[in-house]
Amino acid sequence: MSTDPWVVLGVLALAIVVVLLVGGMVRRGRATSLRPLPAESRDGYLTEWDQIEIRFIESPEDAVREADALVMAVMRERGHSLRARDLPKDVRSARDVAASKKVDRTEAMRRAMLHYRAAMEDVVGAEAHSRDRVARREMG
């Protein structure tokens, strides 16, 4: 019994589409299934963020490195995969801007911190910018 090659190709194409759709659903489900932070962890991370922003004034590059490490620590605690392709857009943007040679170094660090702030707000699950911060006024 011979099978029509077009039927085989059609079944194969359908199987590929199903695999891709299921893979996409699993990936999206993983992103929404992050563990919430305990209040104590959240407060600790926000306090550490405050300190990083204050240090930005004296040492922008160190503060940017610390901001990256802190955001990654929060994501790790929440169960994020930490694969480069799965990182939040703001983290990828912060890293790109910080590594950029096209803009003034201080401006690059300022922009990177703004991206890290947005990422921090997302991963902590609270608006980190709602707290009164001296460093924020300094950063502009």
Whether residues 86 and 24 share a domain: the answer is no
Provide the token pair at 10.
């059609």
Structural domain boundaries enclosing 13: 1-33
Mean pLDDT of the chain: 81
Of 10-14, 72-76, 127-131, the one with minimum mean pLDDT is 127-131
Give me the helices (H) in the chain, please. 5-32, 39-56, 60-78, 89-99, 105-124, 134-139
Whether residues 65 and 92 share a domain: the answer is yes
Whether residues 111 and 56 share a domain: the answer is yes
* pTM of the model as a whole: 0.68
Whether residues 123 and 57 share a domain: the answer is yes
Whether residues 64 and 13 share a domain: the answer is no
Instruction: Tell the burial category of 83 from Cβ atoms under 10 Å away from its Cβ (0-12, 13-18, 19+).
Output: exposed
Q: Choose the most confident range, by mean pLDDT, from 15-19, 81-85, 125-129.
A: 81-85
Whether residues 57 and 123 share a domain: the answer is yes
**Which residue bears the tokens 């480069």?**
84
Whether residues 21 and 45 share a domain: the answer is no
